[in-house]
Structure 1
């Protein structure tokens, strides 16, 4: 038998071509990673976070430590509000202005040595007018000395999990040179924060002391009723400035905080927060060249967040999960208990995200000792996890009904039934 060499070669060539083509069709496509977003910011660093989850939406040089100027006062604000909430102090407590507080340079110049004002009025001056004198007076009132208060700030920085570069030497954010003879003796270096650090402080303020927005959203206020001119909020982007002839071009819908800052070393900085359509964002911009520029660049960062992301409720409370509608229970009147979600799960998602992009997985508790009757309604029996974009959120699965412990006779006959069922299954397999 003779082979037609040309025909064989042709068949082989066609076969190889078809197999190669099929491999190309069947090969999984590898999606390229999203390219880093370039907002063309005229700033040294920037950061964007969603306020309820802490999810990072944008960052640029966000781990670079820089002088934060008055943005450092966010930590001062946190500690003041914490001191009041703990019951150690009251907003009506009178705070006396020391010589140092009266002498401190920079924004403020509201207080005279020996003057007494309430904690609430001092806090308003700190939060609305970024008053250095009020910041020092409050720090001394709570910490005994400003340096002791700065040590409290550094401890809170550790509690928040800020970077190792985060450091405070005073309550105002002023440099050591600016403090002159009032510079701290024990604390060395300068006050430094990264953009991410500043956002985390803002995140904790909004989580634990959202009442701060009552102050930071105020465009202007008289410090004393007898004062001829009010304190003007340094935050030009406040939504409340929409009708202000001087600031309306900067006013931003939903923006109600949080803290500006400026020194020669820091440039112009701004930690902003705004809420739209149920989503609150926190942005940080550090090191811009001019005062207007810090607001222009903040607008770019916030616009990016609001234009590209939204809050997506994936699960609601009391929802049944298809993959785990019931959980097996030992020694109960019944053998399983229906479960539902304890709380809902809402994630920050890109606008237009498809349902299949949200992976929902559920599982009973690994600790089987907690899956034994009696079971009470609302008892945690498992967890459900939503995964999106590599981020996970978890809520509990809880019992919808009580489950009493079964009587010994019920459990005895159930054991016998299970024994014979197991034997029957075993014999079929063999």
Structure 2
């Protein structure tokens, strides 16, 4: 493949400057054309909505089984057994996906709704008793870490390992840079702890994990697959939700008119969360690998070559969205690719939406005004767009 004819961009999407603020890079990639070439990593980049959407849904042409990171599992051994959902394609992907979709689907979540709403009320009442606080650890981290491990059926010990494990996992999808090296010394210990929690005897009898093992007893999946399906919940179910909640809290702290609208129409909580996921895209990038030679936007991607899909850039593509840089509750954000799209779309998105609905509903009831109270600090991760600190000031209703 002659990449000379393609627009070539040398900017490092995993460098600290781009991770701090990717807007300039995203605009350059979109303006470059349907496909650009990232010379630093020898990969093809897609940043426009149409091409990203097509690659996400075209699993027959662009596989996940060779890894959704820069590392190519056709040639390199992954650092842990590949995910049966994220890093697998049909038919291997089908049974685990069907089981997990049922376990964490909307019907299954109805029984958790009241308890999660009550937990959000209790947390918000306690936190907003102080007029100023850091919303990232006190709300965005605290709420998922309180309710989700319980829902999975984890024991009380070691839950502090969940966020660092997810942090390393999402960093590992990028190149082996300083962010990966920083987490590497603890990676083995964290992975071992997570794997231990996936065993049947470690899980409470009424949680998501036990239901996955029950599916293995029924023959829906194998007993060898069951712990890997449980692991997929722990791998992707915490960090992404934390940073989605961080995104929506930041959105409202910087858009007081939209906060007023949510307070007037609390039923917009889920729309608000999806719009924040579109606007901030907590999951910024994913890779796929060409399965055979395939054309995108007039460019042939040769078999075995990696494409890097910029979800965050697609979610602000002016070809798809009116006024894409605005956070706007009057917009219909459905169709955003912040949860992926197609066969591999985030299976836990309903969980995240319910968590967000619970937290935002509780906040809207208690807080008349929320605003930034200091300088927010970004947290750099090769895959996630995240906050390290989000100091806010609230005025109670």
TM range (shorter): under 0.3
User: Quick check: which has more Rg, 1 or 2?
Assistant: 1
Bigger helix share: 2
- Using structure 2 for the length normalisation, give the TM-score: 0.22
Bigger strand share: 1
- Using structure 1 for the length normalisation, give the TM-score: 0.21
